[in-house]
Amino acid sequence: MKGQIRKALSGFYYVVTADNTVYQTRGRGNFRKRKLTPLVGDRVEFESSNLTDGYILDLLPRKNELVRPPVANVDLGIVVISMVEPAFSYNLLDRFLVNLEFKDIEPVIYLSKLDLLADKDASTKVKSVYETIGYNVIASEDDETNKRALEKLFKDKLSVFMGQSGAGKSTLLNKIRPDLALETAAISDHLGRGKHTTRHVELLEIGGGLVADTPGFSSLEFQEITSQELPRMFPEFVQAAPLCKFRECQHVNEPDCEVKRQVAKKEIAVTRYDNYLQFLAEIEKRRPVYKKSK
């Protein structure tokens, strides 16, 4: 049989099939030897003679995976970034965006706490910078407007919320689903073995799609991205690069660089370019990780 892992808890994986039947399963013993860990969101092949004693036989190919929260096959990454308390950071937002681009996850930027913002032009400026690049930015002081905008995006997608601590990820999720805490407990009774205090990742059906109920922080370091790959994580650089003199232009010291020309003309945001240079320096200083030969 085939299905999707919707919840992982205490060594059990709760797999939902196409007909919406839930099976409690365990991973095969050889997964550890093969260094495979099933994740929520994985599509799997499994066998089961009843609803509570199944075994996952194989993991179907993943298109991506996140570490925090541990979810596979993510379509949409909703970056909740605060405009105030904590203060807005272009650098932090760009870190999230670069990691999402690398994982081939569609980013959505959600600007929170606009009602606490003294300078209303600040959010307009941020919105303009990222919409010019092509990113979807949700920024309204009206909660209902934001909620409708998000719910339109959920359909047929697996979505994950991410952002810094205190940005309001949990608050936002509860506004979308006021009954979330009650529903999570009820699902735990049905899928698991009663209520659990341990935090776990679970996919909930919202707006015709699946949303991870645990707001994740996601990685802000660039452990996997190489210095050659980094320029391709900036969509506006990708668009400008064909006009650079050198095919593999790093947009730093090379002559006749279109990216630097557009930065100088403010066609590319200076904040984005400055952050790119900082990220590039971090990657180049990173200690190499050598994989052990098998």
Question: Which positions make up the binding site?
Answer: 112-115, 163-171, 244, 249, 251, 257
Which residue, 79, 64, 94, is CA-closest to 236? Answer: 94
> What tokens were used for 13?
């994986």
The DSSP code for 210 is: E
Per the annotation, where are the binding residues for Zn(2+)? 244, 249, 251, 257
**231-240, Cβ contacts within 8 angstroms, sequence gap of 24 or more:** 231/259, 231/276, 232/101, 233/97, 233/98, 233/101, 233/102, 234/98, 234/101, 234/272, 234/276, 235/101, 235/133, 235/134, 236/132, 236/133, 236/262, 236/268, 236/272, 237/268, 237/276, 240/268
Q: Is 133 within 8 Å of 238 (Cβ atoms)?
A: no
Q: Is 81 within 8 Å of 92 (Cβ atoms)?
A: yes
In what side-by-side order are the strands of the sheet with 76-82?
136-138, 106-112, 76-82, 158-162, 209-212, 203-206
Rounded CA-CA distance 23/93 in Å is: 38
Per the annotation, where are the binding residues for GTP? 112-115, 163-171
